[in-house]
Amino acid sequence: MKRKHQSNMKRLLLVSGAVLVIGFSLNLIWENAQAPLYQGYSGLFGHFWICFVASLVDALVLLLLYTLFAVFNHSPYWPLNAKLWQYILLSFTGGVIAVGFEKWALAVEQWFYTDEMPMVPLLHVGWLPLLQLMILPSLTYYISAITIKLRLINK
Residue type, position 56, single letter: L
pTM (two decimals): 0.89
Residue 82: pLDDT band with limits 50, 70, 90? confident
- What residues does each domain of the chain span? 2-153
Could you tell me which residues are beta bridge partners of residue 145?
none
CA 104, 132, 34, 126: dihedral to nearest 10 degrees?
-50
| Cα 23 to Cα 27, 40, 112, 143, distances in angstroms | 6, 25, 24, 10
Summarize pLDDT for 90-142 with one digit per residue, the tens: 999 999 999 999 999 999 999 999 999 999 999 999 999 999 999 999 999 98
Q: Which residues contact 92 (CB under 8 A, 6 or more apart)?
A: 134
| Cα 94 to Cα 9, 65, 98, 117, 132, distances in angstroms | 27, 8, 6, 20, 8
Mean pLDDT rounded to a whole number for the chain: 90
Poorest-confidence range of 57-71, 74-88, 119-133? Answer: 74-88
